Structure 1
Amino acid sequence: MDNLKNKVAVITGGNSGIGYATAKQLKEQGATVIITGRRKEAIEAAASELGVHAIVADQSRISDIENLVSKVKEDFGQVDILFINAGIAGLGTIEQATETLYDDIMNINLKGAYFTLSRFIPILKDSASVVFLSSNTASMSGAGSSIYSSGKTALNAVMKIAAVELAPRKIRVNSVSPGPTETEVMKKVGLDEATVKSIMDVVVDKIPLKQMGSSEDVAKMVSHLSSDASKFITGADFIMDGGMVLA
């Protein structure tokens, strides 16, 4: 399949998980793909494995975002597909919340995503596609998730307003909101396989389809939203959680 041939795609946070799977998917469909990440070794290793381009950038730093845009413009010209994927997770009750946790999450998940879009707008092609990675937690009220969930809820509001503002240029802006997805996040925070499995079993029990999502599921949705097959879709949030928000 090469329905994205000659398209230039930028994916923030592309060295693992959903970003990595999406880079693979878009490249397989013919796009020229640029992935970003904070850790030079990790992002360059991922780019080498995927056969895509890598640019080191910390999406929580506006100066890094502006440097990224300049580099992309210089090396690739305009952008057809922008997948704003970089983000981190964190849990804690409102009573226990620390300023550090709040700032860490919001600086990447909301401020970083907001200014990534803001600074990329001048080099987006007319009829480009922008996709935000949101979360089904934006539609839920789970204890301990106030910071993460409110950041994603705000992100969905930004997405809808951006869809209105960019509609005159036929630029479409949407979001994808996965539920529990099989990625390396839990292993990264130091949990062993037995602990991860026990957590997953509890989570899966709350999902009507009784299964976890995969990074590839999300990648396929991003690919769909980036193609002409969705040229009349904008301002929409696609919840991909096996019915979890319904339970």
Structure 2
Amino acid sequence: MTHSSSRFDDKIALITGGTSGMGLATARRLLAEGAQVVVTGRDEARLDAAVEDLGGADRVLAIRGDVANLADLDAMAAAIREQHGRLDVVFANAGVGAFQPNSEITETEFDRAVDINFKGVFFTIQKTIPLLSENSAIVINASWTLHRGLPNASLYSATKAAVHNLAHTLAAELGPKGIRVNSVSPGYIETPMFHDNVSAAAAAAVVIEVAAGRIGTADDVAAAVAFLASGEASYINGQDLIIDGGLVAALAGSTW
């Protein structure tokens, strides 16, 4: 897909977890709109594949690292400073699924989800704030599950509620510096993580819950992230944009 808009000409954008799904789609969207992008991921082979998918290394800087590891985040920030000197957009997207009954969650599983979904987002932002230019934007990937209860999602939902609140508080803290902070809450989105956690039969069933009558795409989320990161959203701060086809707000298939 090509976009004629040049909203991100001369902008530098970081996308964590940028090797697949919503992260990769957002990197592709921002590149199409003029940005230079930095993508991160834990797997070198997937990073290489992402760079190839995005059209090569001319406008893409790939950095291997784990967002839950502060040394990796320090190295990431140093590499961005050396290559670009600044950032204009951060999409704190890296995350993992955690879906099981509350009674079955182990301390190891708890620590993994919190380390990546909350700690990783928290310190990604902390480490990149010194690089952010005036009139820059941070977008955090939250989830529709913070707005409506979902069985077997107590741990996942709690981590997403934490980063949603982080968007509120950091909007207040960073606003005087000219930095906006918002979050997006995707619903059911066609990504590798979705299919890792939802069977084909279950995926067909959940469509019935969506007023739009379909599962969302990674491009749907990328478009929303691009809007929130752009100057068109210059007076939107501390908000959460739900991208769910009406899953939370509308009762699908209801008739009188």
Normalised to the residue count of structure 2, the TM-score between the two structures is 0.92
Which residue of the other structure, out of 17, 21, 43, is the alignment partner of 2:21? Answer: 17
**Is structure 2 residue 33 aligned with structure 1 residue 29?**
yes
Which residue of the other structure, out of 62, 66, 82, is the alignment partner of 1:74? Answer: 82
Aligned to 1:226: 229
Aligned to 1:65: 73
Q: Distance in 2 between matches of 1:245 and 1:17?
A: 22
Aligned to 2:254: none
Tell me which amino acid in the other structure corresponds to 2:246: G
Which residue of the other structure, out of 62, 76, 86, is the alignment partner of 1:54? Answer: 62
CA contact (8 A) 2:6 2:34 kept: yes
| Secondary structure in structure 2 of the residue aligned to 1:172 | strand
Residue 185 of structure 1: how far off its partner (Å): 2.0
Residue 177 of structure 1: how far off its partner (Å): 0.3
Q: Distance in 1 between matches of 2:196 and 2:19?
A: 13
1:15-44: CA deviation from partner (whole Å, max 9, x where unpaired): 000000000000000000110000011112
CA contact (8 A) 2:188 2:194 kept: no
Aligned to 1:84: 92
Q: Distance in 1 between matches of 2:50 and 2:74?
A: 23
Aligned to 2:216: 213
Q: Structure 1: state its 5+ residue gaps.
A: none
| Secondary structure in structure 1 of the residue aligned to 2:37 | strand
Aligned to 1:237: 240
Aligned to 1:200: 203
**Is structure 2 residue 12 aligned with structure 1 residue 4?**
no
Q: Percent identity?
A: 36
| Secondary structure in structure 1 of the residue aligned to 2:104 | coil
Q: Distance in 2 between matches of 1:187 and 1:222?
A: 22
Residue 48 of structure 1: how far off its partner (Å): 2.0
Q: Distance in 1 between matches of 2:161 and 2:194?
A: 23
Q: Distance in 1 between matches of 2:9 and 2:174?
A: 23
Tell me which amino acid in the other structure corresponds to 2:160: K
**Is structure 2 residue 134 aligned with structure 1 residue 130?**
no
Aligned to 2:45: 41
| Secondary structure in structure 2 of the residue aligned to 1:73 | helix
Q: Distance in 1 between matches of 2:96 and 2:181?
A: 21
Give runs of ≥4 in structure 1 deviating > 3 Å: 186-189
Q: Structure 2: state its 5+ residue gaps.
A: 252-256
Residue 104 of structure 1: how far off its partner (Å): 1.1
Aligned to 1:97: 105
4-13 vs 198-207, which moves further: 198-207
Tell me which amino acid in the other structure corresponds to 1:138: L
Q: Distance in 2 between matches of 1:186 and 1:207?
A: 15
Between the two proteins, the alignment pairs up a number of residues equal to 242
Which residue of the other structure, out of 115, 122, 126, is the alignment partner of 1:114? Answer: 122
| Secondary structure in structure 1 of the residue aligned to 2:111 | helix
| Secondary structure in structure 1 of the residue aligned to 2:242 | strand
CA contact (8 A) 2:42 2:65 kept: yes
Normalised to the residue count of structure 1, the TM-score between the two structures is 0.95
Q: Distance in 2 between matches of 1:47 and 1:225?
A: 24
Q: Distance in 1 between matches of 2:86 and 2:97?
A: 31
**Is structure 2 residue 177 aligned with structure 1 residue 173?**
no
1:41-94: CA deviation from partner (whole Å, max 9, x where unpaired): 111221122032211111111111111011101111110000000000011122
